[in-house]
Structure 1
Amino acid sequence: MYQAKTQNNALAAGLIGVATAFIAATTLMAKALGRDALGPALPALQISHGRFLFAFMAISTAVMILRPALSAPHWRLHLARTSCGWAGITLMFASVAYIPLADATAISFLNPVFGMMLAIPLLGETVGRIRWFAAALALFGAFILLRPTPESFQPAALLAFGAAMVMGLELIFIKKLTGREGPFQILFFNNLMGLCIATLAVLPVWQMPSTAQWVLLAGIGICMAVAQTCFVNAMARADASFVAPFSYGTLIFAALYDQIFYGVIPDAVTLIGAGIIIAGAALLALREARQKPKPPAAHTAL
């Protein structure tokens, strides 16, 4: 029997904020690995394999130290969630090697909209007018930041769009799991199964990375482990339709990292788009802050 976490929208929003910073860092490192700056460019399948390999090592170490209680996992939900996560991250890593980081991030992070929409029929969540407006406002900011041009619709942009679709579906499976199992267990089995899938997929294209590439692969895995920990704990404390729009914060961090590491200075369009995204998330947070917290509910782990 797993006791669900007490609903806390403010804490959930803060956890998502931390997660977005680390998620943006993984795409930045994936972009470097997908090019030949540190050695022969690595294929996206190998980058996603490194992400699961080192994330699993980090989470396994935490499990051995903290020894959290584990129960019988819901294998079908774990497989569905992991398959979507592996496909989404692989598509995302493939896209950032060919199109600007901000463009790829903006396209792929349409997934909160897909997640919010799917939460209605699949989770039975109620999405009020203010939530719809806040999500639409954040989505409008994402489109501004995307700067729709003919270059944005090259085949690589479709990879990022595909990533958004499967990651939106992944949000639903994560929410279903957070009501049945603890965060550590979800992360452990997700990365264990993800490593198995990624290992089988990378075998035909694997190549020996350089020392610098190994460091970045490890960095991607560790950053993703931290982001996952924050994200799963956030999903356990708030509705998926509330948590999802805050993921747009990744766009802001992506623009910041572009400036620091690639010398790309955000222009007026970037500032306007980021400002609208922040406004949408802030509106959603203010709306939820007025709601009474929901009592925790117990669910049997299946």
Structure 2
Amino acid sequence: MTLRAQNPRLAVTLIVTATAFIAGTMLLAKTLGTDVLGPPLHPLQVSHGRFLFAFIAIGTAASILRPKIKQPRLRLHIGRTVFGWAGVSLMFAAAANMRLSDATAISFLNPVFAMILAIPLLGERVGPWRWFAAFAAMIGAIVLLRPGASSFQLAGLLALGAALMMGMELIFLKKLADSEPAFQVLLINNGIGLAIATAAVLPVWVIPTAPQWAALAGIGVLMATAQTCFVNAVARADASFITPFSYITLIFATLYDAIIFGERPDHISMIGALLIVGGAVLLAWRETRTRT
């Protein structure tokens, strides 16, 4: 498999495009979890739509491109997908019940949880700077949750759970990244995810309205496109270079929320988001330093 030529400008364009699409999936999940397009859908049905239409999109691409498939490490794929599905479902539930900007900011804790989980699961050592970054990000999450205040965000606990699940997913991805092609990982992930989501949605599934079907399809296609953009961005620039640009998702989420739902972050949300993003960026920078 030949390596693509390094192209940092294109990589940045791709990752920013991916962030816009990811924020778009959050926006659509919020509309489906409210009564904007019809009776609210259960988060499990929203996540089912995400995997269904993403698998259709990626499966169609696979039938055209016919990529070579290596022997997959199924246990790792299943573990990664279980946690990924749980994270997505919790994230969609959180998005329906709180500001998109707050839910998105809390989701950025996933690399912090991945760092902490990597200590017992991967035997990694964590230095003082990385602990400081994790501490700053966790303080930001506490600020966003507003404990003890009348504005305490119970839905924020769902976003926190989503970040924990996605942090665990990153542990499995670390083990898969160096052994299997990215397209194969995406295809298998969405295939297994569809099977899990289908089994989970059966007790709560209802017939969506026509606009809800369109939104479910939009979530799947946007997510598949975002994943494709991300994979191609990583192929054209170092992950350490493009990772900070992924936090632009927060800007798009805030913008979408303001335009569609008229919700704007207050000063507490801004402080919490800055702490989380700052801690995550510092953590990404230290990851780079420890590998060079």
Tell me the TM-score range normalised by the shorter chain.
0.7 to 0.9
Read off the aligned partner of 1:152 and give its amino acid letter: F
The answer as to 2:213 corresponding to 1:214 is yes
Tell me the equivalent position of 2:66: 67
Q: Using the alignment, how far apart are the partners of 1:276 and 1:15 within structure 2?
A: 26
Aligned pairs (5 A) from 1:1-302: 18-148=17-147, 149-154=149-154, 156-231=155-230, 249-280=248-279, 283=282
Read off the aligned partner of 2:102 and give its amino acid letter: D
Q: Using the alignment, how far apart are the partners of 2:13 and 2:289 within structure 1?
A: 17
Q: Using the alignment, how far apart are the partners of 2:131 and 2:5 within structure 1?
A: 24
Cα shift at 1:274: 4.2
Between 135-144 and 214-223, the greater mean CA deviation after superposition: 135-144
Change (3 A) 1:92 1:279: closer
Q: Using the alignment, how far apart are the partners of 2:45 and 2:26 within structure 1?
A: 14
Change (3 A) 1:183 1:81: same
Change (3 A) 1:103 1:264: same
**Conserved? CA contact 2:27–2:253, under 8 Å:** yes
Q: Using the alignment, how far apart are the partners of 1:232 and 1:198 within structure 2?
A: 23
Aligned with 2:36: secondary structure? coil
Aligned with 2:69: secondary structure? coil
Aligned residues: 290
- What is the alpha-carbon root mean square deviation over aligned residues? 3.7
Cα shift at 1:265: 3.1
Between 213-222 and 65-74, the greater mean CA deviation after superposition: 65-74
**Conserved? CA contact 1:13–1:246, under 8 Å:** yes
Aligned with 1:38: secondary structure? coil
Instruction: Provide Cα deviations, 1:7-40, integer angstroms capped at 9, x if missing partner.
Output: 9999988866554433222121111101112111
Identical pairs, percent: 60
Tell me the equivalent position of 1:296: none
Read off the aligned partner of 1:110 and give its amino acid letter: L
Change (3 A) 1:233 1:146: farther
Change (3 A) 1:197 1:278: closer
Read off the aligned partner of 1:96 and give its amino acid letter: A
Between 2-11 and 181-190, the greater mean CA deviation after superposition: 2-11
List runs of 5+ in structure 1 lacking aligned partners: 294-302
Q: Using the alignment, how far apart are the partners of 1:173 and 1:89 within structure 2?
A: 16
**Conserved? CA contact 2:107–2:159, under 8 Å:** yes
